[in-house]
Amino acid sequence: MAAFTVVPVAQLPVAPAVPAVVIPQVGTAGGASPAGTAAAAGGAARAALGVASLAAVAAAATRRPRGVARLAALNGLATRAVAAPAPAFGRSWAASCPRGDASAMTMARCAASGAGAKTLHVGVVGYGLVGKELVSQLLTNAARLESELGVKVEIAAVARSKSMVLLPPSGDSALADGAWPSGEVPADLGKLADHVLAAAKASGGRAIMVDNTASDAPAELYEAWLAAGADVATPNKRAGSGPYQRYEKIMAAAQKGGSRFLYEATVGAGLPIIAPLQNLLRAGDEVVAVEGIFSGTLSYIFNTWKPGMKFSEVVADAKDKGFTEPDPRDDLSGTDVQRKVTILARECGLKLELADVPVKSLVPAALESWQPADGAALGDAFVKELEAYDSEMDSLISEAEAAGEVLRFVGAVDIKAGTASVKLGRYPKDHPFA
């Protein structure tokens, strides 16, 4: 029986190099096919997530699922063949994605053959770095979206953690340059969604809710939004990795409401990983395993760290460059990778809960609940405490080097075994992860 393994190599938080999705073993119903590779240029984390959300908005406008995976047309993230050296982040590969599929003409044809909604009304939940980037791109590309997709995209409402603004028709210009419009009221995401849906009903168009947060609160409302007919696009991992019963209800609500749950950006940011996996499954291929380095921060750390270097200094370097969270433990704990692996496992049909995915945390047990002294910078103070464990980490990398191997922080799904895991593993230097 034919089978394949999908191996996304790295998700980068910035773009000094080309991250890649590598597919080293591919099989079809008719037998083995040649190995394929794919790469897409990335941007800063907020740009990558903003573009992924923008692509999802475009997909909703055209009513064509493939639009989610075609990121190039709207922000210059070309999926054309590209190869570049990436010494700090690992290997780079040449893309095999057809550039023509991402062209404006192709997307316009998709729009013409879609449902033909005249206006797509957007509700934006989360107006921080990612939310502002998304809004900026929507406003900047409004004319192009309308001319090339045949759809007018209009932001109907925006929400921050404690307040929101319900905009009048054609009132989204008030959001230009990251501005916060007047007329704010206390945040109520239920009322915000009702406003967006009412705007869509009045214009005969469609509604889409874009959740740019990392909060569980909006995810609790996805079911209601989808059932009411609003599409939902998000980089928020909470729904896909949260309670499985809620996950099932969200997926069922999309079918009930004739809407779509678009979550490509939950794994790989701007890289198309989920959609290709879905397409391969729909084509009848059998997925044996999914493995990848799903953290851009940990990808940088382990590609930078070499024998003789102190682990704490490499973490400090990543922190100083803005690659880590303000609390580096959020990256080193592996929880973010755990959520991504859970999402991919569910895509492959495994009914796993987040707690079913064991994680090898890189945070020393003594520092898991540690807190800095009053007034101390958390990140700097943590790195200082981490220095006490450099010798322990040094033994790990020295042993790997002696065996001709490298250390990589990898998430894996074993479909046949019905399991998933996140761990620090050793790999030969000629392995795609090396």
340 is a catalytic site residue = yes
Sequence-separated (6 or more) residues with CB below 8 Å from residue 179:
none
| pLDDT (0 to 100) of residue 31 | 32
pLDDT over threshold 80, residue 44: no
What does the pLDDT look like over 326-375, one tens digit per residue? 999 999 999 999 999 999 999 999 999 999 999 999 999 999 999 999 99
Q: Picking from 109-123, 296-310, 369-383, which range would have the lowest pLDDT averaged per residue?
A: 109-123
pLDDT over threshold 80, residue 265: yes
What does the pLDDT look like over 113-157, one tens digit per residue? 344 448 999 999 999 988 999 999 999 999 998 988 889 999 999
| Residue reference for tokens 């991402």 | 102
**One of 132, 237, 319, 340 is an active-site residue; which one?**
340
Mean pLDDT of 298-320: 97
What does the pLDDT look like over 55-71, one tens digit per residue? 555 545 544 332 322 22
| Residue reference for tokens 């740009």 | 47
| pLDDT (0 to 100) of residue 53 | 53
The CB density around residue 339, as the number of other CB atoms within 10 Å, is 24
pLDDT-derived band at 268 (thresholds 50, 70, 90) equals confident
pTM attached to this predicted model: 0.78
Q: Give residue 99's identity as a one-letter amino acid code.
A: R
pLDDT over threshold 50, residue 250: yes
pLDDT over threshold 60, residue 259: yes
195: its two tokens = 């406003």
**Rounded-to-integer distance, Cα 48 and Cα 61, Å:** 20
In this structure, are residues 92 and 86 in contact, taking their beta carbons and an 8 Å threshold?
yes
Q: To the nearest whole number, what is the mean pLDDT of the chain?
A: 79
